[in-house]
Amino acid sequence: MRFDADWMSRADDRILEHLSEDGPDTPKEMADSDRVRFSRQHINARCKTLVEYGLLVHLGNGVYDITRQGKAYLAGELDARDLDPE
């Protein structure tokens, strides 16, 4: 069971799941996928927030990847309410 936080949006789980299964990607490619059905702008904003909380890492050139913490959250091993922004 996943424990999300008040700062999280509905898009966050989809973004994390997409990156966990498909590997590093850009907000544009995520928006074009069937899994993450949000605008590129919204995905980009959410990725920046997920980086602040340590669930994603920005690799450069608009490419994001999931971190160990992000994978732990997806597995239900990490309570996002316990995370603080960096």
Mind listing the pLDDT tens digit for each residue in 33-84?
988 999 999 999 999 999 999 999 999 999 999 999 999 999 999 999 999 9
Does the residue 86 lie in any domain? no
Does the residue 53 lie in any domain? yes
In the predicted model, is pLDDT for residue 86 greater than 90? no
Does the residue 60 lie in any domain? yes
In the predicted model, is pLDDT for residue 9 greater than 90? yes
Containing structural domain, residue 24: 10-76
- How many structural domains are present in the chain? 1
Structure tokens at 24: 């590093």
Going by C-alpha positions, the residue among 40, 42, 35 that lies closest to residue 16 is: 35
Provide the strand spans (E) within 15-68: 56-60, 63-66
Structure tokens at 5: 């936080």
pLDDT tens, residue by residue, 11-33: 999 999 999 999 999 999 999 99
Going by C-alpha positions, the residue among 72, 59, 65 that lies closest to residue 19 is: 65
In the structure, what pLDDT confidence band is assigned to residue 8 with cuts at 50, 70 and 90?
A: very high
CATH value at residue 43 = 1.10.10.10
